[in-house]
Structure 1
């Protein structure tokens, strides 16, 4: 959950869920991750009008899950639950990691088990 503060002295800032951050006020915004990349809100954050604490996504939004799954070649229905999307993504990432580790091992490259999928992909790119 993110705490969003409005540093402006006069203007309240409306959020997509209908909540309003009053001038000089702070509110809890549990779904901040779902709309933090919207152009107007990103502008307010960039310029310092809105200050976000704890806004790092603890969990991925549905859109981010769909994007990651699509990058791994997996299609999911738009009505899928967050739980099933997370489970399918975790399975797909583990399979992708295992596949890349196998390819790197064939090439004589030793990798540890504590590396991320992104690190493995970067290492594989170094060894065509």
Structure 2
């Protein structure tokens, strides 16, 4: 969960998910939803200029369990060079594509849809462990 606060004194702020944040009030927004809407152009402006502030509840991480740092590290480990300004969703997509390609190179069949990043990573780790032994 994210605690989103409207730091203004006059005007409520509407979030793209339909939640209205009254002046000087805090509302809870689901972590997955917040991860998506915080990049919205207007919301990003409000955050940058402290019209809105947000605190993510401790222990609440990305749905797939990968932080930005983990995504970048894994991409680098697999030989990719992620852009420093790439969005987290772009990094996730690149990692999924890279893992899928690597699995196919190893002859492991991969479904086109419905496979999570964690499942792809686990399958790749298993396949490379088997190939090394």
TM-score normalized with structure 2 length: 0.55
Q: Which has the larger radius of gyration?
A: 1
Q: Give the structure 2 partner of residue 64 of structure 1.
A: 89
Deviates more, 1:40-49 or 1:66-75: 66-75
Q: CA deviation at 1:96?
A: 3.3
> Is the Cα–Cα contact under 8 Å of residues 21 and 27 in structure 2 kept in the other structure?
yes
Q: Which residue of 2 aligns with 1:95?
A: 123
Aligned to 1:50: 52
Q: 2:28 & 2:7 partners in 1: Cα distance? A: 15
Measured in 2, the distance between the counterparts of 1:8 and 1:51 equals: 10
- The equivalent of 2:104 in structure 1 is none
Q: How does 1:18-37 map to 2 (within 5 A)?
A: 18-30=18-30, 31-37=33-39
> Matched residue pairs, number?
95
RMSD (CA atoms):
3.2
Evaluate the alpha carbon distance shift between residue 76 and residue 19 of structure 1 in structure 2; reply closer, same or farther with a 3 A threshold. Answer: farther
Contact between 1:33 and 1:57, CA under 8 Å: does it hold in 2?
Answer: no
Change (3 A) 1:36 1:98: same
Paired residue secondary structure (2:27): strand
